[in-house]
Structure formats: structure tokens, C-alpha cells
Amino acid sequence: MTAGAAITIPEIDYLLHEPARLRLLAFLAVVKRVDFTYLLKLSGLSRGNLSVQMNKLADARLVKIEKSFRDNRPRTIYQLTARGTNALREYKKNMKAILAALPD
């Protein structure tokens, strides 16, 4: 390597890098569909925080949101999109590369 040359490391997607969002995506990656209440219990996040994080993921089209009513109760169902699966896979690959380059 020549002195002063830029060191390139894999790009990290900061949308996924945030711990709460990463945890939510990991949950969504192992199930088919899940509703807001289940995700709330599973993640341990507050309602407000969960809602904000899920909306960010939905805005980036990593997660699909379905809103409906059942027994007069509003229900929000989340599902990881193909784009979300790919983003998560890419994130994992890049993180692995970075971690592998770190000294022990």
C-alpha cells in the first residue's frame, strides 16, 4: 500500500446498523408475518420507538406494512420485503469483512 492511499472498507448501511432496527429486522427475517403487538413484546422497545423504527424501515421499503381492522381493533402487520432480505444479507457480508480485517 502506498502512503496516503485511501483505505476502502465495505460500506455499512446505517439504516440497518442502528441496534433496535437491526434487532427488528432479525426478528422479521425468521418469521413470515408479525403484528405490532407481537413485535412490541418480542423486541422490548416502547410503542413509540417501535413505531418510529418500523416506519423508517418501511420508508426504505425494507418492510411492508399492512393496516387492517379485526373485531373493531386496528391491526398493523409487518413483513420483511425481498429488498429487506437483500439489505440484511449485504449488511451481514460487509460486517463480516470488516470484523475479519480487525486485529485480534
As a whole number of angstroms, the distance between CA 45 and CA 9 comes to: 32
Burial label for 57, CB within 10 Å (0-12, 13-18, 19+), is: buried
CB of 9 to another protein, least distance (A): 22
Report in angstroms how near the CB of residue 70 gets to another protein at its nearest. Answer: 9
Instruction: Compare residues 13 and 35 and give the one whose CB is closer to another protein.
Output: 35
Return d(Cα 84, Cα 63) in angstroms, integer.
Answer: 6
For the bound state, the minimum distance from the C-beta of residue 54 to another protein, rounded and expressed in Å, comes to 8
User: Could you list the residues that contact another protein (CB under 8 A)?
Assistant: 26-27, 29-42, 47-48, 50-51, 54, 73-77, 85, 88-89, 92
